[in-house]
Amino acid sequence: MNPLPSQTRRPILLGLGIMLVAFNMRPALTTVGPLLERIRAETGLTAAGVAFLTTLPVLCIGLACTLGPLVIRRLGADRGVLLSVAIVALGSGLRGFGGTAPLFVGACLAAFGIGLSGVLLPGLVKRDFPGQTGVVTGLYTMVLCLGAAAGAGLSVPLADRLGGWPTALALWAVPAVLATLAWLPFAKARETVAGAARPRSLWRDPLAWQVTGFMGLQSSLAYIMFGWLPLVLHNRGLSAIDAGFVSSLMSIGQAPAALLVPSFAARVRDQRGFAAGLLGLCILSLVALVYGPLAWALPIGMALGAGLGGLFGLGLTIIVLRARDPGAAGNLAAMSQSVGYTVASLGPLSFGLVHDLTGTWTASTVLFCAIAAGAFLCSLGAGRDRYVGKA
């Protein structure tokens, strides 16, 4: 059999490289939730400290997103991805030193790398896979969700086997190092995303703000669940291992929806129906987990994951669909994720503080539903067949 021509082989290899990077875009976030009780007991963190531990990384993601266009102009998108995944590896490994300082610094560093890669990947997809944006976005979003599932499900067993939470958290530097090495061949060329101009014009664009609002609010729902669902279920009576397992299944449930929703959403002109259905599924699933029988926690957790994964994939797809070219996609990704993740960071913090103030999960559940309603309102504009930068 003849080897694949170079013009075919590079996109395939590039696609595989994107998948490896995507796998490392969530474990640094999902590995902490199942270990919160253990971390809190060993470090003496207060409830407010735990809330900030789940909030600061999301803020760092937002900060990193603001630097996306600058990185594209200075380094190129390909070298920027190499830098981002290397930072994820560094931050993940730093957590292995134990103690609150390495934990917080490592979490923030890893989140910074995650945010930077999140801005760069949509532009790469628009540049290298212009005819398959929905499929490729769905694939890397699915792999991202599988990475989240692996982090959530393996955290407690690894901590038990390796003698503590620091080593278990640090172990997630290994796949990030492998992704860094795998991306090296693509970082040799100084390629940039065309049109990577400063995104100032988007700040006065109503559609860009609607996309930003949808991206931020739906992300807030996911980060609330990443940080707090294991503790919610543990307080309801599940063991730490079982609660972590449900959280892992939630992340696994994200994968099929993250693959399918972008593929279907990219084929239609209007994505508002997808947003409404997925947000409704998230609300019903969380209410069932908080108030329903624990015997149904596993399938309901997977349903919640399907809603969250579909929303995340839809958000990334909308960024690509609302942009005319790779440069606009990069700029819209930078705006929607920098502002969006800053907004999203308030979700886990508010969810935890409301619980501490009331002593129950009822008010926190109401807050979750209100955030979902806000995401729906933003989707009414973001889901329309329009382009940013145009009247």
The CA distances from residue 262 to 200, 315, 334, 374, in Å, are: 28, 9, 20, 21
Q: Which residues of 372-382 are buried (b: 16+ CB within 10 A; e: fewer)?
A: bebbbebbebb
Q: What is the DSSP string of 187-248?
A: GSS----TT---GGGGGG-HHHHHHHHHHHHHHHHHHHHHHHHHHHHHHHT--HHHHHHHHH
- The pTM of this model reads 0.75
The CA distances from residue 160 to 35, 40, 164, 166, in Å, are: 11, 16, 6, 11
From first to last of its 391 residues, the chain has per-residue pLDDT tens of: 444 444 444 778 888 889 999 999 989 888 887 888 888 888 888 777 877 787 788 788 888 888 877 888 888 888 999 999 999 999 999 998 988 899 999 999 999 999 899 888 887 887 888 778 778 888 888 888 888 888 878 888 899 998 889 999 999 999 999 999 999 988 865 554 444 444 446 888 999 999 999 999 999 998 899 778 988 998 888 887 888 788 878 878 888 888 889 889 988 889 999 999 999 999 999 999 999 998 899 999 999 999 999 998 899 889 888 988 777 777 888 888 888 878 887 888 889 889 888 988 999 999 999 999 999 999 999 999 888 876 4
Q: Tokens for 148?
A: 């989240």
Which residue carries 């399938």 as its tokens? 299
Q: What is the DSSP letter of 46?
A: -
pLDDT of residue 85: 95
**212/337 Cα distance (integer angstroms):** 7
pLDDT of residue 188: 67
Within 13 A of 270's CA, how many CA atoms are on the CB side?
Answer: 6
Q: Tokens for 207?
A: 């559609």
Counting beta carbons within 10 angstroms of the beta carbon of residue 98, is it exposed (0 to 12), middle (13 to 18) or buried (19 or more)? middle
pLDDT of residue 189: 54
Q: Which residues of 11-45 are buried (b: 16+ CB within 10 A; e: fewer)?
A: eeebbebbbbbbbbbbbbbbbbbbbbbbbbeebeb
Where is 24: in which H helix or E strand?
none
